[in-house]
Each structure stands twice: as C-alpha cells, then as structure tokens.
Amino acid sequence: MKPFKKWFGTPTKDEESIFSLDTDNIPNHVAVIMDGNGRWAQKRGLPRVAGHHSGMKNVKKITLAADQIGVQALTLYAFSTENWKRPKDEVEYLMKLPLEFFPKEIDELIANNIRIRITGWPEALPDYTRKSVEDAIRQTEHNTGLILNFALNYGSRKEMISGVQRIAQEAAAGRLRPEDINEELFSQYMLTAPLPDPDLLIRTSGELRISNFMLWQLAYSELYFTELCWPEFNEQHFYMAIQEYQRRARRYGGL
C-alpha cells in the first residue's frame, strides 16, 4: 500500500481506519450535507446555535481528514436558498460563522495548501459574510491542494434555472445553436463548474433526502447516509464512509 501523503507518527486506535483504505480508489470529489446541528444541540439541552458552532468546528477536522487521503475537492452544504425561511436570529448566527471560522482557521488551511471557493449566490449574503468569504477565497487563490468548496446560499433548482436562462440568452443572441446544448455544455453552466461531479455524497443526521443539493451533479454519485449528526461526525466516521464507497461497484448503467 502506498503511504498516505502528509502522514506522520504512529496512528492512534481511532486513526487506524485510514490504513485500511485503498489509496488507488479515493473519491476525487466528496460532497457533504452537514445536517443535524440543531438536533445535536437540542439532545444536549443546548440552543440550536450551539450546534451550529460545534458544526463549524468540525469543518476543519473533516477538511484535513479529506486532504490527508488525497481527496481533491470537498463541497460542504453550509446554507441553502431555503434556509432563509428560518428564524431571523438563527440566520444571523449562521451568517456570522464565517467571521469566526476564517480568521481562526485560515493559517492552517493555507499551510495545507487548501483553496477556498464558493458555490452559490454570494451577492445575496450580508456584506460582512460575503466579504469574509471573498477574503478567504483571495488569500487562498494560488493554493493548489484540496479545494474546499462551500455551498453557501445554494439551491440546485435555482442553479439549473439560472443556467438555462443563460444558455437561452446565448441562443437568442445567436452565439449558440440549440443542437449544441449537451450534457457537457449544461455542466459548464452549473455554479460548480469546473469541479467534476461528486463521486460520493455524505448526509449526516439520518435524513434520507437530497434537499435541493446538486441535483444535476449527483446523477451517478454514491450516496452515504449516517444517523450521526454533523457535530459528532469525526475523521474515523469520514474514513468509514470512504471505506463503504470503496466497496461499491459503480456501473453507470453498464455491466
């Protein structure tokens, strides 16, 4: 087995699961619906926002775990276009998390050559949130390692409609013929472009649904659901999901 990059020292018992992974079959792009923050907090008699805070702290852990095994892109669903429906206080709390997350973690992300990007509509975020994320994107734009992609103010149906509108505008202006519209072109109009489709989707908290996340891109992704809530989903759980992914036979409709 090839050694994993940047692995130093003797593994603890908890870390052993990493060594049973097949290094030749690591998913390139992993997407995560980080769900269950509120329920995690409520189970502990804490306010929902305490769950969001704890969930935020988990982001770095899972990012480094993904980087460790050579995942190239990690997309984290952080806020959906539907999450604006939540109480104002909760939305405000979520919008302030980047202001704590980036100053605290950016040095370590940079030290690990991680590049931040966003999939969604940053223009609709409060100015302070947008600025904080844009600063992080700028600070890491020359990094060449793992892409840490936050789906922030993201919704898949809106993404597809806006893509179709832009394609239609190109066609109406005579720059594109309708017969030239194919899967590859459509993918280029998705906000995730040029990232490849996710190989693996993980959803925490036991909910068995997609919640308007990457409906186009997930066509042939392997789906992995766990009862664990996001704040308690640790490196070992992440590697267990990768292990399960490696047991799957991806057939894409073939044999």
Catalytic residues: 35, 83
Q: Residue from 39, 53, 60, 117 that binds ligand IPE (CB under 6 A)?
A: 39
252: left (phi over 0), alpha (psi -120 to 50) or beta: left
- Quote the distance between the C-alpha of residue 11 and its chain's center: 26
Q: In the bound complex, what is the minimum distance in angstroms from residue 151's beta carbon to ligand IPE?
A: 7
Nearer CB in complex with ligand IPE: 80/226 = 80
For position 79 contacting ligand IPE by CB under 6 A, the verdict is yes
Q: Which of the stretches 7-15, 33-41, 113-121, 123-131 binds Mg ion when contact is defined by CB under 5 A? A: 33-41
Binder among 211, 234, 243, 246 for ligand IPE (CB under 6 A): 211
Can you tell me which of 78, 118, 148, 191 binds ligand IPE, judged by CB under 6 A?
Answer: 78
**Residue span binding ligand IPE (CB under 6 A) among the ranges 3-11, 110-118, 194-202, 203-211:** 203-211
Residue 190 DSSP label: S
Query: How far from the centroid of its chain's Cα atoms is residue 239's Cα?
Result: 16
Q: Which of 36/98 has CB closer to Mg ion? A: 36
Q: Where are the beta strands (DSSP E) in the chain?
A: 29-33, 73-80, 115-120, 147-154, 200-203, 222-225
Among the listed residues 221, 207, 215, the one whose alpha carbon sits nearest the alpha carbon of residue 190: 215
Q: How far is CA 69 from CA 76, 132, 145, 147, 194, in A?
A: 17, 28, 12, 14, 22
Token readout for 96 is 């302030």
Nearest distance from C-beta of residue 36 to ligand IPE, angstroms? 4
User: Is 159 a binder of ligand IPE (CB under 6 A)?
Assistant: no
Cα–Cα distance, 156 to 91 (Å, whole number)? 20
- Nearest approach in angstroms of CB 60 to Mg ion is 21
Q: Taking CB within 5 to 8 Å according to partner kind, which of ligand IPE, Mg ion, none is near residue 120? A: none
Q: Choose, by CB under 6 A, the member of 23, 81, 83, 112 that binds ligand IPE.
A: 83
What contacts 94, CB < 8 A, 6 or more positions away?
52, 78, 79, 83
Binding status of residue 131 toward ligand IPE by CB under 6 A: no
Q: Rule CB under 5 A: say whether 35 interacts with Mg ion.
A: yes
| Residues at the site binding ligand IPE, with contacts judged by CB under 6 A | 33-39, 77-80, 83, 94, 205, 207, 209, 211
